[in-house]
């Protein structure tokens, strides 16, 4: 693989794979095509790629073991993972790949105006942000340690979207540093009460500064483990009784944060391919990405190259399950480009607040969000 970095394309051999390779090489990046994750792992060990691309149709449906190997590859490489999808790709499959760390989604066939900006973002070094610097900038910092991947990952995403900076860690990390003195909220998300007890013996909550809070989460709740914190403030949650949205609500209450119109409590997980372009430009190129949250007021899109905040955009939301397309317009409320999810992080992508949509589209949107379609709009 070239010194400037190339692409590992994970796609079964088929007549269309040559078109994908040609598009990548036309963007002046080497492409190594492999047919399975074992080959991808071996290639990644030889030299770190600039980007991973996974063809969804080559892995549907995916077994749990396949998703686990993909997650290991994503963690080892550290480069962005971009999905290659089409309008037949099931939403459930995109959701599974989102949980494995997918950063973006491109609709095939690939186009140059989509590829080149993504390569530029991936090639730009992301400066590391220290906890002290974050403290000066103002956002609250949350530590999230987990052994229960899906629940923790969703919680982290919602915290990020609410303006928090999240420091991720795993119970398996052998050299986990001691809790930072400026972190006010520590969240431990375990698969069992026994696992949680073991982690608490190693993390020593009593050594954190006075007034810091710990959220202990596991199936059945932490029980008597809430007394383990010494002088810290601890709240226990039964994973069978709460959702990640509830954890964010508790964090907001602890920090006395004021929710806005795009509050995570109003969102539902929502995964499908989405296209967007600058509003009013009838001849503008469509860019693609994928959605991961939806509310009656807006949609959250994961992409390495979001539009600038304040930009007006047109949207084509491809509801693959319903085999229909939902069109609308909106304004970009926030936007963040790619950053590593190790250490401190922020949401990658953009939040778009809806401005216009047909009555039929709005009714379907409310139905998807679990809102009564006949309810009248209320001011935010």
What DSSP assignment string belongs to 276-311? EEETT-TTPPPEEEEEEEEETTEEEEE-SSPPPTT-
What are the residues facing 237 on neighbouring strands?
217
208-264 residue pLDDT tens: 556 678 889 999 998 887 765 555 578 889 998 888 888 888 888 877 754 443 454
Fold of 137-173+180-256: Rossmann fold (3.40.50)
What are the residues facing 168 on neighbouring strands?
144
Closest CA to 59 of 117, 11, 1: 11
The domains spanning 7-123 and 137-173+180-256 adopt the same CATH topology: yes
User: Considering the entire predicted model, what is its pTM?
Assistant: 0.69
Residues 75 and 173 sit within 8 Å (Cβ to Cβ): no
Query: Who has greater pLDDT, 115 or 361?
Result: 115
Closest CA to 303 of 279, 275, 326, 331: 275
Residues 275 and 286 sit within 8 Å (Cβ to Cβ): yes
CA distances from 144 to 162, 171, 368 (A): 15, 10, 30
Q: List the 141-146 sheet strands across, edge first.
A: 233-238, 213-218, 185-189, 141-146, 165-170, 344-345
- Burial class of residue 186 (count of CB atoms within 10 Å of its CB; 0-12, 13-18, 19+): buried
223-233 residue pLDDT tens: 887 765 555 57
Percent of the chain with pLDDT over 70: 78
pLDDT value at residue 211:
65
17-68 residue pLDDT tens: 999 999 999 999 999 999 999 999 999 998 889 999 999 988 877 678 888 8
322-366 residue pLDDT tens: 788 889 899 998 887 776 554 445 568 888 988 877 777 778 877
Residues 76 and 100 sit within 8 Å (Cβ to Cβ): no
Report the C-alpha gap between 53 and 75 in whole angstroms. 14
Fold of 268-369: Thrombin, subunit H (2.40.10)
Domain extents in the chain: 7-123, 137-173+180-256, 268-369
Residue 129's pLDDT band, with cuts at 50, 70 and 90, is: very low
The predicted model gives 190-219 an average pLDDT of 78
CATH architecture for the domain at 7-123: 3-Layer(aba) Sandwich (3.40)
Consecutive H or E run containing 15: none
Name the token pair of 68.
Answer: 């686990």
Length of the chain, in residues: 380
- Burial class of residue 7 (count of CB atoms within 10 Å of its CB; 0-12, 13-18, 19+): buried
State the pairing for strand pair 324-336/312-319. Answer: antiparallel
């Amino acid at each position: 693989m070239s010194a400037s970095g190339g692409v590992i394309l994970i796609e079964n051999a088929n007549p269309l794979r040559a078109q994908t390779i040609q598009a990548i090489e036309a963007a002046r990046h080497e492409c190594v095509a492999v047919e399975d994750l074992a080959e991808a792992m071996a290639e990644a060990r030889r030299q770190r790629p600039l980007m991973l691309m996974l063809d969804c149709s080559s892995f549907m449906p995916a077994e749990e073991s396949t998703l686990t190997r993909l997650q290991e590859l994503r963690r080892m490489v550290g480069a962005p993972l971009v999905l290659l999808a089409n309008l037949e790709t099931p939403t459930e499959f995109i959701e599974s790949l989102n949980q494995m760390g997918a950063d973006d989604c491109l609709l095939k066939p690939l186009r140059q105006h989509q590829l080149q900006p993504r390569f530029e973002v991936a090639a730009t070094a992301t400066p590391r942000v220290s906890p002290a610097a974050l403290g000066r900038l103002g956002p609250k910092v949350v530590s999230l340690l987990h052994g229960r991947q899906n629940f923790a990952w969703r919680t982290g995403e919602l915290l990020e979207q609410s303006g928090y900076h999240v420091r991720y860690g795993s119970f398996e990390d052998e050299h986990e540093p001691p809790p930072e003195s400026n972190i006010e909220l520590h969240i431990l998300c375990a698969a069992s009460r026994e696992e949680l007890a073991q982690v608490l013996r190693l993390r020593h909550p009593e050594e954190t500064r006075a007034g810091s809070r710990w959220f202990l989460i596991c199936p059945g709740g932490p029980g008597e483990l809430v007394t383990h914190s010494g002088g810290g403030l601890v709240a226990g949650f039964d994973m069978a009784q709460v959702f990640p949205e509830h954890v964010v609500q508790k964090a907001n209450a602890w920090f006395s944060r004021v929710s806005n119109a795009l509050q995570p409590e109003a969102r539902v997980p929502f995964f499908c391919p989405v296209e967007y372009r600058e509003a009013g430009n009838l001849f503008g190129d469509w860019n693609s990405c994928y959605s991961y949250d939806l509310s009656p007021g807006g949609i959250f899109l994961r992409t390495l190259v979001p539009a600038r905040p304040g930009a007006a955009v047109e949207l084509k939301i491809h509801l693959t399950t319903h085999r229909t397309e939902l069109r609308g317009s909106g304004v970009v409320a926030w936007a963040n480009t790619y950053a590593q999810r190790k250490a401190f992080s922020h949401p990658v992508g953009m939040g778009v607040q809806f401005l216009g949509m047909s009555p039929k589209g709005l009714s379907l949107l409310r139905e998807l969000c679990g809102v009564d379609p006949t309810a009248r709009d209320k001011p935010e």
